[in-house]
Amino acid sequence: MAVYEIGNYIHDMRVERGYSQEELCFGICSVGNLSKIENGARMPNRKTVEALTQRLGCREVFLQYSSKEEMQQVKICNQIVKKIANYQYEGLEELIDRFERTITKGDILNSQYCRFTRIILKQQKNQNWEQEIKELEDTLRMTKPNGIEMKAILKGLLTYNEIVILINIARGYRKLGRLEEGIEILCGLKEYMDTHIIDQTEKVQKYPMILFNLSNLLMDKRQYAKVVELCDQGIAMSKENNRFCLFPKFLINKGLALMEQGEREQAKESLLRGYCAFYALGDERQCKRLRGYLKETWLDSFSNTL
């Protein structure tokens, strides 16, 4: 795709979706720079195009023109994402260091992602949620500047990095017992996903994360009917898209919520399915925890079978 074609594509998608230049480029680049990109007068770097197309909800069509240096960044970044997704933190710090060395001065978007991954790594070593929330909020404001309230942030256009940062801020609020603030963020993100055009590949990755973390917060608030509804959504989405990382967790949360509603038989079925899913995924730690709960709650049914 030529320089003009990239800019033309961004322009056409922006106009089609009804966004102004100010809405699209806020925190990413200046309106003047976006105009030059759309007119084909300026070659944008890979990360800028990535952020713009994410906010437009478009498939990332630009990979073929990435430079050698940018492709190296992509390779390292993919390794980082894989490790974090699989909770494999050994060697992660070295990868982040390598990624940081590729970042040029003024590259806000890659700097933001690098800073975010360091916070995630630090969480595993020392869980100081109050400090980490502050650091996550500071990281978010690299592209959503100071003085903007959370409600305004959620009403704007978001990159996928910004979405994941917001999810982790909400998780931190839950750890601190600030449930309403966490719920506000995740409900805002859910509404954003429901009302904006989002690339389907990215939606099936991010949306279940929002549903699961929101179900945790609503469980803490004892809003069990809403928990069941969210988990049913997550279960259906997991099966439709063959993505099973959160699938057993949705089943477990649904079962626990049903128990609180007095629906013991439905709860038992959901929890047992969750156990089987964890077993199939080879998660012995979760299986062990569930075995204890199931045997304690339904002693006669499971004493000899699990």
DSSP for 232-253, please give it: HHHHHHHHHTT--SSHHHHHHH
Cβ atoms 246, 238 nearer than 8 A:
yes
Cβ atoms 246, 253 nearer than 8 A:
no
Structural domain spans, the chain: 3-65, 222-306
| pTM for this model (two decimals) | 0.86
Q: How confident is the model at residue 62 (pLDDT cuts 50, 70, 90)?
A: low
pLDDT at 89 over 80: yes
Name the packing angle between helices 247-260 and 200-220 (round to 10°). 30
188-199 average pLDDT score:
90
Q: What are 104-128's pLDDT values in tens digits? A: 888 999 999 999 999 999 988 878 9
Residue 68: count other Cβ atoms within 10 Å of its Cβ.
6
Residue 236: count other Cβ atoms within 10 Å of its Cβ.
11
In the prediction, which pLDDT does 187 show? 96
In whole angstroms, what is the distance from residue 89 CA to residue 84 CA? 7
**Lowest mean pLDDT, pick from 40-44, 117-121, 230-234:** 40-44
Q: How confident is the model at residue 1 (pLDDT cuts 50, 70, 90)?
A: very low
Q: What is the length of the chain? A: 306
Which tokens go with 4? 């003009």
pLDDT at 4 over 70: no
pLDDT at 199 over 90: no
Class of 3-65 per CATH? mainly alpha
Q: How confident is the model at residue 147 (pLDDT cuts 50, 70, 90)?
A: low
Most confidently predicted of 146-150, 201-205, 239-243: 239-243
In which residue are the tokens 């800028």 written?
Answer: 48
Q: How far is CA 221 from the centre of its chain?
A: 22
Write 169-176 long-range contacts (CB < 8 A, 24+): 169/133, 169/136, 169/137, 169/140, 170/213, 170/214, 170/217, 171/213, 172/129, 172/130, 172/132, 172/133, 172/136, 173/133, 174/213, 174/216, 174/217, 174/220, 175/127, 175/129, 176/129, 176/130, 176/133
In the prediction, which pLDDT does 73 show? 87
Which is more confident, 199 or 190?
190
In which residue are the tokens 């592209």 written?
Answer: 143
